[in-house]
Structure 1
Amino acid sequence: MKRCHSLQRKLFWVLCVALFSLGLLSSYVSYRLVRRNLTKEFDYALMAKARTLASLVRLEAGGHLEVEFAGEAMPEFEPSRHAEYFEIRDDKGTIVEKSKSFVGNKTFPASLYRSHFETFENIRLPDGRKGRLVQITPKVVEEIEDSESPTHNVSATTVSVVVARERESLDHALSIIATSLLLGAFLVSLGGIVIVLVVLRRGLHPVRHLAEKVASIQPESLDVRVTDENIPCELLPVAQRVDDLLDRLATAFERERRYTSDVAHELRTPLGEIRTALEIALQWEDDPELLKKSARDALDSAKEAETLVQTLLDLARLGKQNRAPQMTSVKLVDVVEEVLEKFSTLAAERHVEIIPNYAAREATLIANRDLLVAVIRNIVGNAIEYAPPYSRIELAIREQDGMALLSVCNDAPNLSQDDLSRMCEPFWRHDASRTDRQHVGLGLTISHALCKLMRLSLDFRLTKEKRLCVTILPALRPAENA
């Protein structure tokens, strides 16, 4: 047997992947936000130092640049393990001032001075550490004081100020934050998986309970129903369909039990008659006439039992037949006239008047002609046999909604509306005593099976005047079939 797919396992893995993905995504977004803010603060500190150094540059008379830098005020630019660096160049690229943290003749590469805008860049510091620098290009203005006039600008020049510091502390902080976020996402996802597992087990408990309840139903307990007040709304349609199935099964089992009982009852009578005839023959074996009579009675009973068994076999064969018979367009008037001709004598004997009403004389029905004749013969024969004497039978051919219909109506004073649903059941007869030996209650059952083969249906209606109308009509309306 092919292994089934577990809904719980599928939901579990989907939710696990979703939780992990959500955790990783949230960690990534958080890391990006934190990294941007920390880098912004780091760059802001670099920019502040660069602007401080730029404010120390003075343009003297004659265009000479002077930097009023005192190492004591900014000791981070002194040579040390964690030294920072700065460099100031004029507009020609000549170094005006640089920090003492540069060892020997080392300077920043000239390629850093390509831009004339404020720029930030990751570099390698002169001592080999990872670093980050900022470059600004402020304008320095020469100021001259005159005793007769206020201070005024006479010349200006542009300088490049570059400040750099190690970024290992920033990278270390970002690494700790990234690790913490990943670890947090993993722990949260792990906790979420445990919660999901518990919730799935508890959430799917009604499904397991429903399965156990269905599994506990046995053929002798088909009256049990799985729908109760505690079942969740999501499972209610399933439970209701299971209850509907149990209703159909209970009905089918009851029908089969009734069918078995009916078959036994119908066969018991001819078999009992055969036994009685044989016992009489054995008891009066010296009487030739009695022996002949007993033999004839036994033969008649055997033929009756054979007819019953053959009818049951035919009915079983019809139920298993899936192949549709050859269908043609059959003119209903011709078929009805043929059947009525055969029943004219019986109708006269029963004092029953048959009134044909051919409102649609040209009406046709797609069917197998021989099978349709058998169906109509059973229906008309039943109507004549069970109609009260001196009553009338109406046989009508008409068209309704584009369909050809054939209806047979007769008086049925003893029938009720509840009897209509059992009309096609095997061996069903309104007379429960079964005193009628000529009819075993299989005519309408066979007619129903034949109609099903031809994709026709039988409709039973009981009017207020207690008249039973049996109508042959297509199983599907033309619009539905299209």
Structure 2
Amino acid sequence: MKSIRRRLTAGFLAGFGLLWLGAGTTIYYSYRSGLMAGMEAELLNLCRQVRTTVGGPGRGWRAEPPIDPEALGPDVFWQVWDAEGAGVFRSGNLAADLPRLSGDGVERMTLADGTRVMIAGRQFGGGGRRGFGRGAMEVTVARPLDEIRGKLNRLLAGLLAVGAGGVAAGWWCVSLWVRRGLAPLDRIAGQVAAIDVNALNGRFAESGLPAELQPIAGRLDELMERLGESFRRERRFSADLAHEMRTPVAELRTIAESAVKWPDEGGPAAWRDVVASVKRMESVVQAMLQLARVEREAAAAETLGLRDLIEALWADHRALAESRGVTLRLEFPTGFELTGDRGMWSHLLGNLLGNAAEYADAPGEVVVVADSSRVIVSNPARKLKPEEVERLFDRFWRGDEARGESVHCGLGLSLARACAEGMGLRLVARLRDDGWLEMRAGK
């Protein structure tokens, strides 16, 4: 496939060539028509001169023409016929009779000696004829076309020379213009080549770019932002997973080393510690896989009943909530419906309800409020500090109350926020003045 530079250059040169061909053709035929028209007018005028010369005043014939037969020019042939068609006079440079034209007119033809000429014929007078007395006459004048051919050949040579020079100059100019016009593309290509996979913070400056390339630079910036965010997410995933798995792995190693040194000690208690560490690792891996899947997959659009969904999700936490004296209260119409991805809404609301059931002040209640633009899950949390609210969505962050629980890995609210963002929503936390924590998902 040809490059854009070559295609543009070839296109410009082809257009220039066609334009010059059309202009040259127009000039050539216009000049040719002018030369032919000038010769036609000249020959008709010479016909009148010949008639005046041989006819004299009135309609009579002169006994002898008063001018030299070649006085009209060495390259002018002329001949005069009487009414019966007999040749009366002709120029001395004429070796054979000129052809007679049928009436007045102008034609181009070739003489018997091979000379290409233009001939003009005129008829003058009428009536009878007595000797060289009064009567009609027919005059034919011819001139070779060599002079016109020479002028046309010189014009054609000039047009070809100018055209060749124009093509050469046009090629140089077009190459320069195309190179300068495509310079912004070369600059963008250089910026792309300079991007390092380890540093995706480079951006494409739109200043100085042509208007046609500014949207491309903008889209490339957006692509770089998405790639950078994806790379940051992957790195954060790896770093967080390694950080969180370090503790249970260290616990397992300690238990294993102890079992090797003191095989008779430990017993069921040691194995319970092993199971707890494995469960914690399993919880971390499952939560991280869910988080990665939610951040990668596109959200579906479907309609689902909110009350049925919340009741199904609350069933997983009802036993824990009842043991702590925490109840659920729904403040929205029975037939209220949500639009979005069922799986993402399940992850989002399931994590919010699970956190509320486990960490809400007891005894207390969890309140869910919904309208057309938002869903709010709130519960009393007077032990939560204002500065901790901003960290609730940090990966692997756990409050003081949850740090001793080995089954919690601190990814639930991060997963909930990822689900909200996947559906084009925002999940924010707010600690009210009355000590209640609000989790709000909406536009």
TM-score, normalised to structure 2, is 0.79
In the alignment, the residues of structure 2 paired with residue 407 and residue 157 of structure 1 have an alpha-carbon distance, to the nearest angstrom, of: 124
Determine if contact 2:326/2:362 at 8 Å carries over to the other structure: yes
Aligned residue for 1:294? 270
Aligned residue for 2:441? 470
- In the TM superposition, residue 217 of structure 1 has moved relative to its aligned partner by 1.7
Selected match of 2:107 from 97, 103, 121 = 121
- In the TM superposition, residue 352 of structure 1 has moved relative to its aligned partner by 5.2
1:59-92 CA distances to partner (integer Å, 9 max, x unpaired)?
Answer: 899x765587334274346xxxx54222334566
Identify if the C-alpha distance between structure 1 residues 217 and 432 changes in structure 2 by more than 3 Å, giving closer, same or farther. farther
Identify if the C-alpha distance between structure 1 residues 16 and 451 changes in structure 2 by more than 3 Å, giving closer, same or farther. same
1:88 equivalenced with 2:80 (yes/no): yes
The alignment of Structure 1 onto Structure 2 pairs a total of residues equal to 431
Aligned residue for 2:131? none
Selected match of 1:108 from 79, 99, 110 = 99
1:159-188 CA distances to partner (integer Å, 9 max, x unpaired)?
Answer: 543211111111111111111111211111
1:75 is paired with a residue whose SS is: coil
- In the TM superposition, residue 383 of structure 1 has moved relative to its aligned partner by 4.0
Aligned residue for 1:201? 179
Identify if the C-alpha distance between structure 1 residues 39 and 232 changes in structure 2 by more than 3 Å, giving closer, same or farther. same
1:172 equivalenced with 2:150 (yes/no): yes
Identify if the C-alpha distance between structure 1 residues 50 and 268 changes in structure 2 by more than 3 Å, giving closer, same or farther. same
1:442 equivalenced with 2:434 (yes/no): no
In the alignment, the residues of structure 2 paired with residue 89 and residue 468 of structure 1 have an alpha-carbon distance, to the nearest angstrom, of: 120
Identify if the C-alpha distance between structure 1 residues 419 and 173 changes in structure 2 by more than 3 Å, giving closer, same or farther. farther
1:358 equivalenced with 2:332 (yes/no): yes
- What amino acid sits opposite 1:358 in the alignment? F
Identify if the C-alpha distance between structure 1 residues 228 and 447 changes in structure 2 by more than 3 Å, giving closer, same or farther. closer
Determine if contact 1:23/1:189 at 8 Å carries over to the other structure: no
Identify if the C-alpha distance between structure 1 residues 186 and 58 changes in structure 2 by more than 3 Å, giving closer, same or farther. same
Determine if contact 2:361/2:380 at 8 Å carries over to the other structure: yes
TM-score, normalised to structure 1, is 0.73
Aligned residue for 2:42? 45
Aligned residue for 1:148? none
1:305 equivalenced with 2:281 (yes/no): yes
Aligned residue for 2:369? 396
Aligned residue for 2:191? 213
- What amino acid sits opposite 1:125 in the alignment? L
Determine if contact 1:415/1:430 at 8 Å carries over to the other structure: no
In the alignment, the residues of structure 1 paired with residue 63 and residue 163 of structure 2 have an alpha-carbon distance, to the nearest angstrom, of: 52
Where does 1:275-354 land on structure 2 (aligned, <5 Å)?
Answer: 275-287=253-265, 290-313=266-289, 330-348=304-322, 354=328
Selected match of 2:427 from 460, 464, 469 = 460
Determine if contact 1:87/1:161 at 8 Å carries over to the other structure: yes
2:49 is paired with a residue whose SS is: helix
Aligned residue for 2:377? 408
Determine if contact 1:65/1:96 at 8 Å carries over to the other structure: no
- In the TM superposition, residue 469 of structure 1 has moved relative to its aligned partner by 0.8
1:69 is paired with a residue whose SS is: coil
In the alignment, the residues of structure 2 paired with residue 72 and residue 137 of structure 1 have an alpha-carbon distance, to the nearest angstrom, of: 22
1:178 is paired with a residue whose SS is: helix
- What amino acid sits opposite 2:256 in the alignment? L
Give unmatched runs, 5+ long, in structure 2.
Answer: 129-133
1:262-289 CA distances to partner (integer Å, 9 max, x unpaired)?
Answer: 10111111112222223444455444xx
Determine if contact 1:284/1:291 at 8 Å carries over to the other structure: no
1:69-127 CA distances to partner (integer Å, 9 max, x unpaired)?
Answer: 334274346xxxx54222334566554543333335x3314xx21x44xx322111343
Selected match of 2:51 from 48, 51, 54 = 54
- In the TM superposition, residue 12 of structure 1 has moved relative to its aligned partner by 1.3
In the alignment, the residues of structure 1 paired with residue 310 and residue 157 of structure 2 have an alpha-carbon distance, to the nearest angstrom, of: 92
1:381-413 CA distances to partner (integer Å, 9 max, x unpaired)?
Answer: 23444556677643235446xxxx755355787
- In the TM superposition, residue 294 of structure 1 has moved relative to its aligned partner by 1.7
Determine if contact 2:126/2:136 at 8 Å carries over to the other structure: yes
1:219 is paired with a residue whose SS is: coil
1:220 is paired with a residue whose SS is: coil
1:14 equivalenced with 2:6 (yes/no): no
Aligned residue for 2:26? 29
- In the TM superposition, residue 189 of structure 1 has moved relative to its aligned partner by 0.8
Where does 1:146-185 land on structure 2 (aligned, <5 Å)?
Answer: 159-185=137-163
In the alignment, the residues of structure 2 paired with residue 428 and residue 67 of structure 1 have an alpha-carbon distance, to the nearest angstrom, of: 133
In the alignment, the residues of structure 2 paired with residue 134 and residue 262 of structure 1 have an alpha-carbon distance, to the nearest angstrom, of: 105
In the alignment, the residues of structure 2 paired with residue 5 and residue 410 of structure 1 have an alpha-carbon distance, to the nearest angstrom, of: 67
Aligned residue for 2:251? 273
Selected match of 1:133 from 119, 137, 154 = 119
Selected match of 1:382 from 349, 355, 373 = 355
Percentage identity across paired residues of the two chains: 25
Give unmatched runs, 5+ long, in structure 1.
Answer: 143-155, 474-482
- Which 10-residue stretch deviates more, 87-96 or 175-184? 87-96
- What amino acid sits opposite 1:31 in the alignment? Y
- In the TM superposition, residue 460 of structure 1 has moved relative to its aligned partner by 2.0
Determine if contact 2:341/2:423 at 8 Å carries over to the other structure: no
- In the TM superposition, residue 331 of structure 1 has moved relative to its aligned partner by 3.3
Aligned residue for 1:75? 71
In the alignment, the residues of structure 2 paired with residue 208 and residue 19 of structure 1 have an alpha-carbon distance, to the nearest angstrom, of: 26
Identify if the C-alpha distance between structure 1 residues 391 and 17 changes in structure 2 by more than 3 Å, giving closer, same or farther. farther
